[in-house]
Amino acid sequence: MNLAGRMIAKGKASGPVLKSEVPVGFFGHLDCDTGVYKEAGHPFDGECVKGKVLVFPRAKGSTVGSYVLYALKKTGQAPAAMVLRECDTIVAVGAIIGEIPTADCVDIAQLHDGARVTVEDGEIRME
């Protein structure tokens, strides 16, 4: 099954879904060296984002978050792709400079933890 989205950052990548129903903050929560997300009570708390397709409604927090996504790419800990309901400037810039395929305007209710999906130029394919 395919889900239509809007391309934010181009490219093709596959991986298992890691999903949060609540906004995700990059700056201050993601350890760039280990790829582990830390925020007490958050669905991503303790999870490693490396190679995952992050699915979340939208981002929150500092604009420095763009540089965190870039840093994750450089340390090899970046998510494979990102899928959002609503993408903001912080994630868009971070996805482009970190070269992480990203789509938004997606009905994320269709995507569940652990499912394998491919994101390509804004389109999401579920396997």
Partner 1 sequence: MKLSPSEEGLLEGRGGKGASRAMEILAALGRIHNAADMVPVLSVQVSGISYRNIGEHGLAFLEEWAGQGSKAVVPAYMNPGGADRKLWRSLGVSADFVDKQNRVIAALQKLGVKPTLTCTPYHAVPRPSLGDHLAWSESSAVCYANSVLGSRTNREGGPSAIAAALAGCAPRHGLHTDEGRLPTTVVEVRCPVPKAADAGALGYLIGRLLSHDPRGGIPFIRGVEPPADKTREAWLKALGAAMAASGSVGLFHLEGVTPEAVDAGMILMAAAGRHVPVESLEVGRRALFSAKGRPNVVALGCPHASLDELHRLEALLKGRRAKIPVWVFVAEAVRAKARRSGLGGRLETLGVTIIADTCIVVAPLAEMGVANVATDSAKAAFYLPSHQGVGVYFESQEDAVEAAVAGELGKAQGAAAP
Catalytic positions, written as ranges: 62
Indicate whether 4 belongs to the interface with partner 1 (CB under 8 A): no
Q: Determine how β-strand 6-9 pairs with β-strand 102-104.
A: antiparallel
Amino acid identity, position 104: D
Please return the burial class of 2, using the count of CB atoms within 10 Å of its CB with bins 0-12, 13-18 and 19+. Answer: exposed
Indicate whether 37 belongs to the interface with partner 1 (CB under 8 A): no
Binding residue (CB under 8 A) for partner 1 from 49, 59, 93, 108: 93
CA 72 to chain centre: 12
Binding residue (CB under 8 A) for partner 1 from 67, 77, 78, 118: 67
Indicate whether 123 belongs to the interface with partner 1 (CB under 8 A): no
Q: In the block, which residue shows the tokens 């700056």? A: 27
Indicate whether 6 belongs to the interface with partner 1 (CB under 8 A): yes
Q: From 13-21, 34-42, 70-78, 108-116, give the range in contact with partner 1 by CB under 8 A.
A: 70-78
Cα angle value 54/72/50 (rounded, 5°): 45
**Residue 95: strand, helix, or coil:** helix
CB of 63 to partner 1, least distance (A): 5
Binding site for partner 1 (CB under 8 A): 6-10, 32, 63-64, 66-68, 70-71, 74, 87-90, 92-93, 95-97, 104
